[in-house]
Amino acid sequence: MTTSTRAKQSGSGIAREGGLANEVLEFVWRRREVSRAEIARRTGRSRSTISEAVARLLPTGLIEEVGSGESRGGRRPILIGFRDDASTILGVDIGAAHVSVALTDLRGRILEWREENHPVRSDPHGTAALAVKLGDACLAARGPGAPDPMGIGVAVPSPVDPLSPYRILERILPAWHEFDLLGELRGHFGIPVFFDNDANLGALAEHHWGKAVGIDDFAYLKVATGIGAGLMIDGEIYRGATGVAGEIGHVAIDPRGPPCVCGNRGCLATFVGTRALVARTRTLLSDFPQSVLAGTDPDIWALEDAALADDPLALKVVDEAARNLGIVIAGVLNLMNPGSVILGGSLARLGDRLVKPLKEAVASRTLVASAAASDIRTSELGPRATALGAATHVLVAALADPSLFPGVKAR
Amino acid sequence: MTTSTRAKQSGSGIAREGGLANEVLEFVWRRREVSRAEIARRTGRSRSTISEAVARLLPTGLIEEVGSGESRGGRRPILIGFRDDASTILGVDIGAAHVSVALTDLRGRILEWREENHPVRSDPHGTAALAVKLGDACLAARGPGAPDPMGIGVAVPSPVDPLSPYRILERILPAWHEFDLLGELRGHFGIPVFFDNDANLGALAEHHWGKAVGIDDFAYLKVATGIGAGLMIDGEIYRGATGVAGEIGHVAIDPRGPPCVCGNRGCLATFVGTRALVARTRTLLSDFPQSVLAGTDPDIWALEDAALADDPLALKVVDEAARNLGIVIAGVLNLMNPGSVILGGSLARLGDRLVKPLKEAVASRTLVASAAASDIRTSELGPRATALGAATHVLVAALADPSLFPGVKAR
DNA sequence: CTGACTTTGTTCGGTTGCCGAACAAAGTGC
DNA sequence: GCACTTTGTTCGGCAACCGAACAAAGTCAG
């Protein structure tokens, strides 16, 4: 009870401390070019108040006057623009077997990109060293004008408990027990480090740069080695009571299905995880001698490529996966009624080949019309989505509290 | 995008308009008796500020000085108390086949109670007339000191879309198409009318008066004619993008299960709804000649009574229902990670007879330890929970905006 | 081209909400 | 009895925000 009071406290507290400047800064960021009068109209404040807030923000270099706009029947407005190149952000994607790092500007543009495979599960120290190496490489390669990064975002393939952020990975990655990845990164780069679950950050990336721009309630499903969901509710990532919301890989979709590593039967992961799809493909190889995959030892990339070429074997595997995913997505729609469902992970590049059977499976399992009407789409952000989402996390934090930006005074 | 900006606007806007008084009022309500200094400490405001806010609230009659508390080593504090009897609220529960009305005070105490069976589905006008009749009866029966009601809360057995609140019931109750229940009630009683889905309001009742006091993230499942869930996220009811979140009756739990009225197979409602349980009991009657139900034509009440008496047939039916419910609850835990799951509806009175097999089914279907540890409990609010929740809805609205209280000036 | 009207952005006085310091009242404890 | 605490109030002051007024810069009808 005290906690809930505190939470509400800090809610209004932020607005009191940061004043109007934060709100104006975020507004300018979102609108890119906007006049003082327009800000006043859209935020409900008076022009004089906005003028004052802009005057306080201009010296920070985060916004600037960028010329004049069209007249609306009177004096031309002076447009205020956000300086996307005022700083940079490092986004780190720790996968099950790879590490990738993106250097972005403040508009989600990837300025540099480095990627390397690595046995992440078993080697935390090597993973941290690799992240540092790739991060340094990004910084070294950036153009002469690009400023130093202001923060680091890290995506981890594991639930993140907001209440105890420092012992996180141990549940799913036992070798990582008590290893302080964040401390290593902060120690080397000397800037703030944020982190979160990879599916959550994928959802954040979609919300800012992808198919969920303008949608504040949606579910993002990432199909990779594991299957995870990132839930955005009212514009914010929802983590649940202990930070494990969205762990849908082991939702049971068939009580008579095959056994799973988790000890149950018929988990979604036994049908739709990357390994399950590859295994299923191999099983079906003998039935499809005409397939382009016949005679090969396919991996997930070959499977996807074959599906994109309309290979019958690959399409059958994708179709089955879509129907199984559909069972879980129908459950998500019935329970949470998101405005949209975005599919991420490498499978997303299959587009309609995945979505069409998925929609059929979902439509036959949702009662309420508006839930069934919820649109299901594939991400177009590609393999860099997770690292981009990690960087976006830092951007969101900085826009909410500009004191994180170097050179910006806290008050 | 504009919408989301507006939403944030109104968020900080409320705090600006209502000032501190609202916050203090809600705080006093929650703490029942608390001194000015204590409020100042817990809200982070200065004593002088709180003193001023209290001075503005005292003339409204909603709070009063109720004596002095224990000294903490200095002057004794003057305790401020909330006047639970300053007003009353009507809570109306529209069920599938009954209408019940509660008259409560501002502390959720039920002062009067009226209930009557009625063919709600097919007779909207008669239902409205009955609600008016029962409400009038509650008001007529109240003691001489009890004040007039300040608002009416209505629970309806149908999703409620917050964006179009006036055409709601038609989806599930076709006869109600375009019938303005709220207008009828407002017209007769002349006070504000609020309404929401019954499962949502059940969750609200648990949050204020039941097993979820102090828990801000939980799921409430109501098993009745239909099955619905009320989701509380961060202390607020979550409705989803179009208001149908929590409609879990038609989540598929067995793709090879029996056909459902919704057109699919193996929906939860075909296994666990009231009618399904009764039908299942009848089917099993011949196998349990020793059952107390043998030779009878049992209804849901008889089934529950038999289970409470440890009748083997009834226990078997309950056990099966628990395992089927467990499949869906496991999905809810994996997806949303609520801090608690509360079971409502009449089945809740079975207590551990329901919860024990339920927990077993859930434990075998949830991977992450903290999700599996989530506690599952039965409601203890009884058959009046929904009407109480409807009244609570009005209370919450009034505490957030005291101008709803008669006699309280808007500013 | 001119004059009436709009829109923008700034300046300035005033209101509001909240805080901190100071103080009286009322208590505790050695 | 005396030093110290805590409570609640009063009062001066600060910061945020607003509205009115105004100059600058534009549109548009004639």
**Distance of C1' in C11 from CA in A60, Å:** 23
- Asked if residue A11 has pLDDT above 50, the reply is no
CA angle B143, B147, B149 (to 5 degrees): 115
Test A335 with B338 for CB contact under 8 angstroms: no
Q: Are A111 and A253 part of one and the same domain?
A: no
From chain A, the residues in CB contact with B365 under 8 A are: 250-252, 264
From chain A, the residues in CB contact with B23 under 8 A are: 8, 12
* Residue A214 to residue A212: CA distance in whole angstroms: 6
Q: Are B9 and B135 part of one and the same domain?
A: no
Q: Which residues 143-172 on chain B approach chain A with CB closer than 8 angstroms? A: 159, 161, 171
Find the domain containing B109 and state its range: 88-204
* Residue A341 to residue A399: CA distance in whole angstroms: 26
Q: Which of these, B85, B82, B106, B73, lies nearest to B34 by C-alpha position?
A: B82
Q: Are A219 and A351 part of one and the same domain?
A: yes
From chain B, the residues in CB contact with A328 under 8 A are: 331
* Residue A337 to residue A343: CA distance in whole angstroms: 16
- Asked if residue A12 has pLDDT above 50, the reply is no
Enumerate residues 6+ apart whose C-beta is below 8 A from B116.
B98, B99, B100, B130, B134
The CA–CA distances, whole Å, from A88 to A11, A26, A343, B371 equal: 28, 17, 28, 37
Tell if A48 CB is < 7 Å from nucleic strand D. Answer: yes
Q: Which of these, B327, B225, B291, B266, lies nearest to B281 by C-alpha position?
A: B291
Tell if B410 CB is < 7 Å from nucleic strand C. Answer: no
Residue B186 in contact with partner chain A when CB distance is under 8 A: no
The pLDDT assigned to B7 comes to 28
Answer for the pair B5, A27: CB distance below 8 angstroms, yes or no. Answer: yes
Q: Are A200 and A75 part of one and the same domain?
A: no
Q: Which residues 335-354 on chain A approach chain B with CB closer than 8 angstroms? A: 335-340
**Distance of C1' in D27 from CA in A45, Å:** 26
Test A365 with B252 for CB contact under 8 angstroms: yes
> What DSSP element (H or E) covers B158?
none
Position B9 in a domain = yes
Q: Are A167 and A139 part of one and the same domain?
A: yes
The pLDDT assigned to A411 comes to 31
Position B284 in a domain = yes
Q: Are A32 and A129 part of one and the same domain?
A: no
Mean pLDDT of A381-400: 95
Residue A233 in contact with partner chain B when CB distance is under 8 A: yes
Burial of B306 (C-beta count, 10 Å sphere; 0-12/13-18/19+): buried
The pLDDT assigned to A212 comes to 96
Q: Are B69 and B110 part of one and the same domain?
A: no
Test A245 with B4 for CB contact under 8 angstroms: no
Enumerate residues 6+ apart whose C-beta is below 8 A from B39.
B24, B27, B28, B45, B50, B54, B80
Test A335 with B254 for CB contact under 8 angstroms: no
Position B411 in a domain = no
Enumerate the β-bridge partners of residue A98: A117
> pLDDT of A357-376, one tens digit each?
999 888 877 765 555 566 89
Position A101 in a domain = yes
- DSSP E strands, B69-180: 78-82, 88-94, 98-104, 110-117, 149-156
Residue that finishes a domain, picked among A82, A114, A129: A82
Mean pLDDT of A243-269: 79
Residues of B (33-62) placing their beta carbon closer than 7 angstroms to any atom of strand D are 35-38, 47-48, 51-52, 54-55
Q: Is A79 helix (H, G, I), strand (E, B) or coil?
A: strand
Position B408 in a domain = no
Question: Residue written as tokens 């001023």?
Answer: B52
Residue that finishes a domain, picked among A82, A104, A135: A82
Test A9 with B242 for CB contact under 8 angstroms: no
Best mutation target among B4, B164, B220, B247 (most A Cβ atoms within 10 Å) is B247
Helix axes A312-336, A274-284, angle to 10 degrees: 140
The pLDDT assigned to B172 comes to 62
The pLDDT assigned to B367 comes to 64
**Distance of C1' in C7 from CA in A79, Å:** 14
> pLDDT of A86-143, one tens digit each?
999 999 999 988 999 999 999 999 999 999 999 998 888 999 999 999 999 999 999 8
Burial of A348 (C-beta count, 10 Å sphere; 0-12/13-18/19+): buried
Total domains in the fold of chain A: 3
> pLDDT of A40-77, one tens digit each?
999 999 999 999 999 999 998 899 999 999 998 899 99
Q: Are A103 and A64 part of one and the same domain?
A: no
Residue B12 in contact with partner chain A when CB distance is under 8 A: yes
Kindly state the tokens that stand for B153: 């809360």
DSSP alpha helix (H) spans, A264-378: 269-272, 274-284, 300-308, 312-336, 352-363, 369-372
CATH code for the domain of B115:
3.30.420.40
Burial of A34 (C-beta count, 10 Å sphere; 0-12/13-18/19+): buried
Q: Is B363 helix (H, G, I), strand (E, B) or coil?
A: helix
Tell if A47 CB is < 7 Å from nucleic strand C. Answer: yes
Q: Are A60 and A145 part of one and the same domain?
A: no
Residue B319 in contact with partner chain A when CB distance is under 8 A: no
> Which nucleotide is nearest, taking the CA of residue A15 and each C1'?
D16
What pLDDT band is residue A186 in, cutting at 50, 70 and 90? very high
Enumerate residues 6+ apart whose C-beta is below 8 A from A166.
A180, A182
Strand D, nucleotides < 7 Å from a protein CB: these are 4-12, 15-21, 23-28
- Asked if residue A408 has pLDDT above 70, the reply is no
CATH code for the domain of B24:
1.10.10.10
Position B372 in a domain = yes
Residue that finishes a domain, picked among B47, B82, B117: B82
Answer for the pair A276, A316: CB distance below 8 angstroms, yes or no. Answer: no
Answer for the pair A385, A339: CB distance below 8 angstroms, yes or no. Answer: no
Test A238 with B233 for CB contact under 8 angstroms: yes
Residues of B (28-47) placing their beta carbon closer than 7 angstroms to any atom of strand C are 44-47
- Asked if residue A293 has pLDDT above 50, the reply is yes
Q: Is A264 helix (H, G, I), strand (E, B) or coil?
A: coil
Position A126 in a domain = yes
Mean pLDDT of A246-257: 80
The mean pLDDT of chain A is 86
From chain B, the residues in CB contact with A1 under 8 A are: 30, 213-214
Q: How many CA atoms lie within 13 A of B232 on its CB side?
A: 26
Position B74 in a domain = yes
Test B9 with A44 for CB contact under 8 angstroms: yes
Q: Are A238 and A342 part of one and the same domain?
A: yes
Tell if B78 CB is < 7 Å from nucleic strand D. Answer: yes
> What DSSP element (H or E) covers A398?
helix A385-400
Residue A409 in contact with partner chain B when CB distance is under 8 A: no
Residue A240 in contact with partner chain B when CB distance is under 8 A: yes
- Which among B234, B244, B337 is the nearest to A370, CB-wise? B244
Tell if B341 CB is < 7 Å from nucleic strand C. Answer: no
Enumerate residues 6+ apart whose C-beta is below 8 A from A287.
A313
The pLDDT assigned to B345 comes to 93
Below-70 pLDDT ranges, chain B: 1-18, 162-174, 255, 262-263, 367-374, 407-411
Q: Which of these, B302, B361, B297, B367, lies nearest to B334 by C-alpha position?
A: B367
- Which among A244, A246, A262 is the nearest to B370, CB-wise? A244
Q: Which of these, B342, B343, B334, B398, lies nearest to B362 by C-alpha position?
A: B334
Q: To the nearest whole angstrom, how far is the Cα of A21 from the nearest Cα of chain B? A: 14
Give the largest Cα separation in chain A, rounded.
75
Tell if A73 CB is < 7 Å from nucleic strand C. Answer: yes
* Residue A276 to residue A282: CA distance in whole angstroms: 10
Q: Are A276 and A296 part of one and the same domain?
A: yes
> pLDDT of A20-39, one tens digit each?
888 999 999 999 999 999 99
Q: Are A367 and A391 part of one and the same domain?
A: no
Test A331 with B335 for CB contact under 8 angstroms: yes
